[in-house]
Amino acid sequence: MFKLITKILILILVLWAIVEVAAYLSKDELDPFNYLSAISSKHERLEATSSPRIIFIGDSSLPFGLDAAVAESELGLPVLNMGLHAAFGMKFIFQEILPDIKEGDTVVMIYHYYPSEDDVNEGVVCHALDFYPEMYKRLQLDILTREKLKITCDLKRTRRFILNKAFGAPSVQEIPLSERQFDYKSWAMNDYGDFYNNLYKNLEIKFTPGYSNFKVVPQDDTISLLNKYQKEYQKRGVKLLLIYPPFPQTSYNDNKEAITEFDRLLREETDIEVLNRPTDSVFPDNYFFNSDYHLTSDGKAEYTKNVIRLLKSALDIKYE
């Protein structure tokens, strides 16, 4: 029995070593312009910017919906757009900035309706961690959970490496700005962490509202997380605010009751300061493309105006 256990342990150790070596070698195969690679530059800017700041956290509605440069100019404070992907999950986006927030900062959350743990995609999370391994320290995981996640991510990266070698990965090259068309690439984002306006201003993508069957899920975890981090941020002298995400008129009409109930939950069961009503963030369908939360350049400009107006009022910033 002892010999069998020893052999099993040796086998596990050998397999672990193989995975670790393969994962290390495959690091050089990462596409430096992958959409998720932007997480690294976003954190570099966050770490390099002095407080007080306005830090936006959330999902992909932020890189598509906020003109951070305009917001910074109007609000007179550094603005950081940390939003990237809904598949990270709400807990991830709160925890990723926790080591960097300082007294005097304002954190503005813009996130989709009815979030849940079902949003989390381990593959997306792992790919982001490939580009920004520092995140492992930020996620407040116990040792076993952290190591399990690392092994999972190593396996996924190794699998991607093998498939790329077997079937040939497309060549990776940066396209000059003057020649770029819209793509989900990090080079399509500016220094503020949102997409260049001119890349998709005239993009011909037919938009069809996608939430006629709105997925309504229990929000106990959402309420708990919002209250937890509102208290945590408050202890650090950081103001946490919430603004509703941009949403198309047709999808809002189809889901009005569910969205109204979501708004009630936030106002009655959390301590977070909600700056607007869902209807304030509803725009014509032609302001969106390829997703209910992704704005065109025209939509982005209008939504940014709304965000600036709300923050000037909430932060008592005088209009010029």
Has residue 24 got a pLDDT over 70?
A: no
For residue 16, the model assigns a pLDDT of 55
The structure's pTM equals 0.88
Query: Looking at domain 39-122+178-314, which of 3.40.50.1110, 3.50.50.60, 3.10.20.580, 3.90.1150.220 is its CATH number?
Result: 3.40.50.1110
Average pLDDT of the segment spanning 201-214:
59
Instruction: Answer yes or no: is pLDDT of 252 > 90.
Output: yes
pLDDT band per the 50, 70, 90 thresholds, residue 232 = very high
pLDDT tens for each residue of 4-22 = 566 556 555 555 555 555 5
**What are the domain boundaries of the chain?**
39-122+178-314
Q: How high does pLDDT run on average in the chain?
A: 85
Give the residue-averaged pLDDT of 110-114. Answer: 96
pLDDT band per the 50, 70, 90 thresholds, residue 205: low
End-to-end Cα distance, the chain? 80
Instruction: Provide the b/e sequence for 252-290 (b: ≥16 CB within 10 Å).
Output: bebbeeebeebbebbeeebebebbbebeebbbeeebbbb
pLDDT at res. 157:
77
What pLDDT is attached to residue 175? 64
CA distances from 244 to 21, 26, 303 (A): 45, 40, 10
